[in-house]
Amino acid sequence: MNIEIKAVTEENRADILALHVSESQTSYIETTEQCLKEAKECRYYHPAGLYRDGDLVGFAMYGWFPEYDEENEYGRVWLDRYFIDERYQGQGLGSIMLKALIRHLAELYKCKRIYLSLFEDNQHALRLYQKFGFEYNGELDCNGEKVMVKEL
């Protein structure tokens, strides 16, 4: 299986915009349209398509944000958005792509930690993130979501 993480470009933008989660997940994550708009407004965001064997199967948006970290580091690497398209859910791609994303972010940013946030009632995502070593750190983000961190 060939996994690729590709930046959103004019060539793949329409396909990225066509990605969506199931109806039961829409309250947990923004649409790709909303994400691309935010990425345009905030230069720290990097939206990307997640590909398996050349097929676009998911979306992520991540970045390094230069905020003070209480552990004397400046800046945090955030996996801010992540989902597998509804058509590809239930095939184990959530784990496969998250593993690839963690590796990608660690190499790209040479970071010691990766942060993300989620609504506590998003149990499916919570179990996935915990499986990969993310733990709550006691913080809430600006949207009231609980912050999780993974030590690398």
Which residue is catalytic, options 51, 88, 115, 129? 129
In the 8-state DSSP scheme, what is residue 41?
A: H
Q: How far is CA 17 from CA 22, 26, 83, 114, in A?
A: 15, 15, 13, 26
Q: Which residue has the tokens 């190499």?
A: 107
Separation between Cα atoms, residue 147 and residue 139, nearest integer Å: 5
Q: What is the C-alpha separation between 4 and 121, in angstroms, rounded?
A: 30
Helices (runs of H) and strands (runs of E) counted in the chain: 4, 7
Residue 82 a catalytic site member: no
Q: What is the DSSP code (8-state) at residue 92?
A: S
Query: Mind telling me the catalytic residues?
Result: 129
